[in-house]
C-alpha cells in the first residue's frame, strides 16, 4: 500500500510521475507565447541533473570504499562495476546534447533572452561532480564569493558545494591507495626499477635512432622531432628523481606523487598478473571517465558555438572561447594518460622474481 494515498502502489505514485511531469515551466509561456523548443531545452537540462545525481551517488560510494587505510579487496569488483556505470551514463549525456542540437539557433533565439542570466555555469551538481573527481578550477567567476555565480546559489547549495570542495577528492583517495600499494619495494633486493629503467632507455634510444636515420625527415622537422624525444627523456628522468619530479609538480606538469606514479606504472605494466587485474581496470576507468568528461565538454562547446556563435554566455563568460579553454585544464587523471609514454612491449618487460610472481597470482591449492 502506498503510505501517502491509501491506494495500492502504482507506477505513477512510486516514481512520482505527476510531480515529475509538472516541473517544466517554459519562460516563453509565461510571457504569453510558448516557444516550441523551450520544452526540449528544459527536459535535456533536467535529464542531465538527474543523471548527475546518479553519477554522484556512484562516485560517492566509490570514494567511501577508498577512504579507509585498507581498501577491502572484495570491494574492488563493486568499485569497478560502479565506475563502469558512470561511464555508460556519461555516454548517454553526450547523446542528450545531440538531441538538443536538433533545435536551430534561430529557434533558440525565440527564448534565449528570457532565460538570462540563468546558465549551466550555475549547475551546482556539475561543480560538485568536478570537486568530487578532483578538478582544480581557477576561474574567477567560480572562486570569488562576490561573483554572480556565488550570488546565484542558495545557502544550502553553497554548503553542499563547500562540503564537496573540502572532502578528499577521488583523485586524492586514489593517490593514497596507490601509495600504499605493496610489491613496489620488496625485502629481497628486487631490482625491478633498475631493470625497467635500462629497458626503457634502450627503447627511447631506438626512437632517437629511428628519427636520426629516417630518410624523409630533414632539417627543422628532424630537429623538432629529436627535441621531442629529448623532452620525453627528461620527462622519463623525472620518473626516478624526486627533485625533478617535484619541479614538474610545481610547474603543474605532473600532479600524482612519485610513489603513486610508480605504483600506477607497475600495475599498468604487469596488468595480467591476477592480483593486479582489477586495479588495472579501475585505473583504466578513471581515464575513461576523464576522457568522456572531456568529450562532453567538447560536444557542449561545439554546440554552444553553433547556437550562439561567439556571443558571450548568459552566465557572464566569454561563451565558446571560455568553454574551449576549459578543455585541457580540467583533466584530473592526466598523469595516468601520460603513463603510456613509459610502457614497454611485453617482450621487453623485466621478468619478475619468482616469489613476487607467486604473490601476485592466485594461491589456491587443492587438498588431496
Spell out the alpha helix ranges (H) of 101-123.
Answer: 105-109, 112-115
The CB-of-164 to ligand HEM minimum distance in angstroms stands at: 15
Which residues, in sequence order, are CB contacts of 40 under 8 Å at separation 6+? 99, 100, 102, 103
| Least spacing, CB of residue 111 vs ligand HEM, in Å | 10
Provide the 3-class DSSP secondary structure of residue 349.
coil
Minimum Å distance from CB 147 to ligand HEM?
Answer: 12
CB of residue 335 to ligand HEM, shortest distance in Å? 21
Question: Of 122, 120, 209, which is closest to residue 157 (Cα–Cα)?
Answer: 122
Query: Rounded distance, CA 93 to CA 47, Å?
Result: 9
CB nearer to ligand HEM: give 48 or 245: 48
* 136-165 footprint of ligand HEM as x/- string (CB under 6 A): ------------------------------
Decide whether 24 or 123 has the Cβ nearer to ligand HEM. Answer: 123
Candidate segments 10-18, 244-252, 311-319, 341-349, binder of ligand HEM by CB under 6 A: 311-319
As a whole number of angstroms, the distance between CA 86 and CA 56 comes to 9
Exposure class string for 20-29: b at 16+ Cβ within 10 A, else e: eeeeeebbbe
Q: Which one, of 275, 242, 268, 249, lies nearest residue 342 by Cα?
A: 268
Neighbours of 148 (CB within 10 A): 14
Secondary structure (3-state) at 80? helix
CB of 308 to ligand HEM, least distance (A): 5
Distance CA 44, CA 296 (A): 14
Q: Are 48 and 122 in contact (CB under 8 A)?
A: no
Write the binding mask 15 to 44 for ligand HEM: x where contact by CB under 6 A, - elsewhere: -----------------------------x
Instruction: Write down the least CB distance from residue 347 to ligand HEM, Å.
Output: 43
Contact window for ligand HEM (CB under 6 A) among 160-168, 241-249, 270-278, 316-324? 316-324
Q: From the list 26, 134, 279, 319, which residue makes contact with ligand HEM (rule: CB under 6 A)?
A: 319
* Least distance in angstroms from the C-beta of 250 to ligand HEM: 25
**DSSP letter (8 states) at residue 6:** S
Over the window 211 to 250, marking each residue x when it contacts ligand HEM by CB under 6 A and - when it does not, the resulting string is ----------------------------------------
Among 108, 177, 183, 270, binds ligand HEM (CB under 6 A): 108
Please give the DSSP secondary-structure letter assigned to residue 200: H
Residue 123 touches ligand HEM, criterion: CB under 6 A: yes
- Answer whether 39's CB lies under 8 Å from 47's CB: no
Which residues in the 322-341 window bind ligand HEM by CB under 6 A?
Answer: 322-323, 326
Q: Is the preceding peptide bond at 117 cis, omega within 30 degrees of 0?
A: yes
Task: For residue 192, state whether it binds ligand HEM (rule: CB under 6 A).
Answer: no
Q: How far is the CB of 175 from ligand HEM (least distance, A)?
A: 23
Angstrom distance (rounded) from CA 148 to CA 305: 23
Query: What CA–CA distances, in Å, run from 120 to 127, 300, 309, 313, 355?
Result: 10, 11, 17, 10, 55
Binds ligand HEM by CB under 6 A, chosen from 24, 119, 152, 338: 119
Contact set for ligand HEM, span 279-308 (CB under 6 A) = 300, 303-304, 307-308
Site string (48-77) toward ligand HEM, x via CB under 6 A: x-----------------------------
DSSP state, residue 216: T
Residue 85: phi, psi to the nearest 5?
A: -60, -40
For the bound state, the minimum distance from the C-beta of residue 26 to ligand HEM, rounded and expressed in Å, comes to 14
Residues that bind ligand HEM (CB under 6 A): 44-45, 48, 100, 108, 119-121, 123, 126, 300, 303-304, 307-308, 313-317, 319, 322-323, 326
Amino acid at each position: 500500500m502506498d503510505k501517502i494515498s491509501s491506494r495500492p502502489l502504482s507506477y505513477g505514485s512510486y516514481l512520482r510521475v505527476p510531480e515529475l511531469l509538472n516541473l517544466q515551466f517554459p519562460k516563453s509561456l509565461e510571457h504569453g507565447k510558448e516557444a516550441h523548443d523551450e520544452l526540449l531545452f528544459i527536459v535535456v537540462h533536467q535529464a542531465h541533473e538527474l543523471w548527475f545525481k546518479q553519477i554522484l551517488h556512484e562516485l560517492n560510494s566509490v570514494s567511501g570504499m577508498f577512504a579507509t587505510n585498507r581498501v577491502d579487496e572484495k570491494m574492488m569488483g563493486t568499485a569497478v562495476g560502479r565506475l563502469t556505470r558512470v561511464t555508460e551514463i556519461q555516454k548517454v549525456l553526450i547523446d542528450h546534447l545531440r538531441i538538443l542540437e536538433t533545435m536551430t539557433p534561430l529557434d533558440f533565439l525565440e527564448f534565449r533572452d528570457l532565460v538570462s542570466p540563468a546558465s549551466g555555469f550555475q549547475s551546482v551538481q556539475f561543480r560538485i561532480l568536478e570537486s568530487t573527481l578532483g578538478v582544480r578550477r581557477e576561474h574567477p567567476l567560480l572562486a570569488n564569493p562576490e561573483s554572480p555565480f556565488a550570488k546565484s546559489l542558495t545557502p544550502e547549495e553553497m554548503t553542499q558545494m563547500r562540503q564537496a570542495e573540502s572532502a578528499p577528492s577521488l583523485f586524492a583517495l586514489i593517490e593514497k591507495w596507490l601509495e600504499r600499494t605493496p610489491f613496489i619495494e620488496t625485502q629481497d633486493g628486487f631490482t625491478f626499477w633498475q631493470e625497467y629503467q635500462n629497458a626503457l632507455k634502450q627503447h627511447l634510444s631506438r626512437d632517437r635512432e629511428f628519427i636520426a636515420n629516417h630518410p624523409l625527415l630533414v632539417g627543422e622537422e628532424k630537429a623538432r622531432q629529436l627535441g621531442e624525444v629529448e623532452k620525453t627523456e627528461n620527462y622519463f628522468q623525472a620518473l626516478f628523481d624526486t627533485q625533478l619530479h617535484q619541479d614538474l609538480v610545481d610547474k603543474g606538469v605532473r600532479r600524482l606523487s612519485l610513489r603513486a606514479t610508480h605504483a600506477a606504472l607497475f600495475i599498468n605494466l604487469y596488468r595480467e598478473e591476477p592480483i593486479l587485474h582489477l586495479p588495472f581496470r579501475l585505473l583504466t576507468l578513471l581515464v575513461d571517465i576523464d576522457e568522456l568528461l572531456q568529450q562532453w565538454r567538447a560536444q557542449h562547446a561545439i554546440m554552444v558555438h553553433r547556437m550562439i556563435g561567439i556571443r558571450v554566455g548568459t552566465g557572464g563568460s566569454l561563451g565558446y572561447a571560455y568553454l574551449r579553454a576549459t578543455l585541457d585544464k580540467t583533466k584530473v587523471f592526466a598523469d595516468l594518460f601520460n603513463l603510456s609514454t613509459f610502457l614497454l612491449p611485453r617482450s621487453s618487460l623485466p621478468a619478475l622474481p619468482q616469489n613476487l610472481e607467486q604473490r601476485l597470482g592466485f594461491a589456491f591449492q587443492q587438498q588431496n
